[in-house]
Structure formats: C-alpha cells, structure tokens
Structure 1
Amino acid sequence: MGEKRFWELYYLSLKIFFKEGIGEKVVRIVGSPNTFRKLTRDDIICKTDPDVRIESRTLQEARKIREFNQYQALLGLLLQDPEADKRASIKHGLYLAGLSKDDIDMLLPPTSDELIAREQNILLSQDKPAKFLMNDNHLVHLREHKEARDTKAKTVHMKLHLDALMKIQENPQLAPQEAGMQQGEESGVPATASAPTPAPQPPTGSEIRGGI
C-alpha cells in the first residue's frame, strides 16, 4: 500500500468511526511550555476531504534551503524597518534555518507579553474569557492569539486588542512605549539597532529538522 493511499484510508476511518460527542483525541503542541489540545470530530472532519500530497525528503530540503536564501536577502531590510516586528523576523529566519521552537525560545526567550498570551491561549481555546489590559503589547498578543483554537472567546478577546490599537492610533499618548511594542521587544530595548543583526546561515542536507 502506498503512503498516500494509507492516509486516505486513515481519514476515511475517522469519518466512519469518530463519532461526535463520543470520540476525542488529544494532541501535544511542541513548544515551551508543551501544551495539550483536545480535538473533536468537527476539528478533524471537513465538508470536503483534504488533498493528500507525498513529497520526497530531498525536494523538501531543497525547497527549505531556497526559502531560507530568499528570506536571508530580505532580512536586512526588515531589521532596518522601524515598523517591522524584529523579534518575529529573526525567529522566522531561525525557523527556516532548521531550528526547533524550543531552540528558538532558548536563543530568544519569550517576552512577558508572549508568555502571558500563550497562557491565555489555553483559556481562549476552551472558549473561556482571558484577562485584557490596556497596557498589553497588543501586536504581540494578536500574533500569539492566532495560535489559539477558533472560539467565540478568542474572537471577542482579539477584538479588544484591535480596538485598543485604534484608540492608540487616535491618541498616541495612551502608548508611551508604542515604538518598542511594535517590534515585540521589552521596554528599554531600542527600536532599531546600530548595525543589522547577522542572518543565520542556511542548513545543508540532514541538518534540517522539523519546524516550529
């Protein structure tokens, strides 16, 4: 049996035997800290069956190296843009270089806003309200909350952050540290560096590992 056929049959078995209200699966989301998320039938079974595509490891590695080289050429411009999220830009470069999420978090420890937003994602994924503060780093929270499961609580919470950004746009005095916030940096860190941060070097062959 080919690998493509195997996954097609596996999905078919889920459609037949994974009953709503009875069946439940749990997945572990790799990261720091590791979290678990429950999946129901609605999370897995779609109205249209997904396409199954099998690609060789050689092609995957070649594509990742090409994507890294293209991103490396753009990274210097991103780091010079005062409106760019510098931490996210560097993290994405490290991801393309083949580092795992745990490795990236060790090199660039999460900020307090990132940690708080990730903890809030647990509540939002369970459709429970999470605490909102006007002095949150709203751009960072919006970025992190995208990882949460789609629920009504998540929609309401993200709307609060969007509304806060609109108020800051109208009255910049509400965000005295707005420049630092836009880069996802802690207060006290300059928005721009005196020299561009060197981009990570591209991996080769088997050095490429799984993504974030």
Structure 2
Amino acid sequence: MFLLPLLLACWIASPAHAGQADDEQVTGSGGKLLRYSSSQVAVDLSEQERADLNRLRDQVFQQSSAAVLAAAAAELKTLGYGTVAVDPDFHLIEGQHDQALVSKGREILRGILKSKMGLPGKPDHKSTQALIVVKPLAADAGVKVRVRFRSTTWDSNGDSRTKTDTDAAMYEEFFSGLKKPCRAVRKAAADSAASIRAVVNICA
C-alpha cells in the first residue's frame, strides 16, 4: 500500500542529472519535479574544442615579464573586468567580469510570473574568469603569454553551467589589445637606444 507513494517520492527527489550528457560533470543537483536545490554543471571540452583552445591561448611578446603583466592587467580592465589581481612573483593574473543577461525589469517580471506559475529557467547572469600566465623564455627571446577564459552562466532557477571558452573572438580581442601597449613599450625602448647611440656618436 505504501510502496507506490514511496517509489513516486524517490523519483521526484531523484537527481536532475540522471540523463546527463557524457561531457557534463554535475557537482550539484536540484531534483526533477520537486525543486529542493539548484544544480551546477561543468561541461568538458570536445577534442576539437581543445585543439581550438591550444591554438588560441598562447602568444609571444618581446617585452619584459613586468611590462607584459602590467599591460595584460590594464587590458582586462579595459575589457570590463572589475576584479583584476596580479601576482608578480608567479607572473600570474586573475580577473573576473560579471554581466547581467537580462534587464532588471525583465528579471523582476519573470520573478513575479514564476511565483504564480511554473516557468523553466532562463539565463539571466554570467561571470567570466580570466587566467593569464606570463612565462619568461630564453635570454632575449621574450615571454610567452597564455590566457584562458572560463564562463559560468546562471539561470533564473539558480542553476549554473560552466565551460572553458573557445570563442576565437574573445582571445583575439584580448591579444589585439595587449599588443598595443607592448608595441608602445618596444618603440620607447628603441627610441631610447637610438638616443643613447646618438649621444655616443656625438661624444666620440
């Protein structure tokens, strides 16, 4: 007599990721019909996406580590990253960019409707983390800059989905902006060297 209600209760409260895709790792679950918690999903990259990331994430610059670190931190701030932390000892930069995907009015309206009826979750805000490592190369060979962008999107139910970004435009925009101050530093160094040579020639 009590078996059917018990089985039904177990099914309702069972994890929402029972039918998850092979490339998804669920670190939390919120149930199926009975929402008792939010769910968090991390999506693995496919082989093609990994190949794309390996192609996009690295570039070499001819400036010092300190100059490139400063330029990279400034570029993240230009791109809207509100939190940027630089670790000069380990040549590391971490940044975070938070953005709303819907207007405040739309968010409030959806909250009102959701309280009256069941609505599926819709993406409403996103956080992108940038991780940048600057690796000094051999003498006079410059430094290698490696960047990785990883985004987490939350929906109106509080569920989140996280994945490493492989959008070429993101990486190209960052490196394009980074090249501008690095070119300026290189030009200033060249001008300084030229001035020193001119003084030496005059004094010779």
Instruction: Give the TM-score normalised by structure 1.
Output: 0.20
Answer 1 or 2: higher relative contact order, Cα 8 Å, separation at least 6. 1
Normalising by structure 2, what TM-score? 0.21
- The answer to which structure has the higher helix fraction is 1
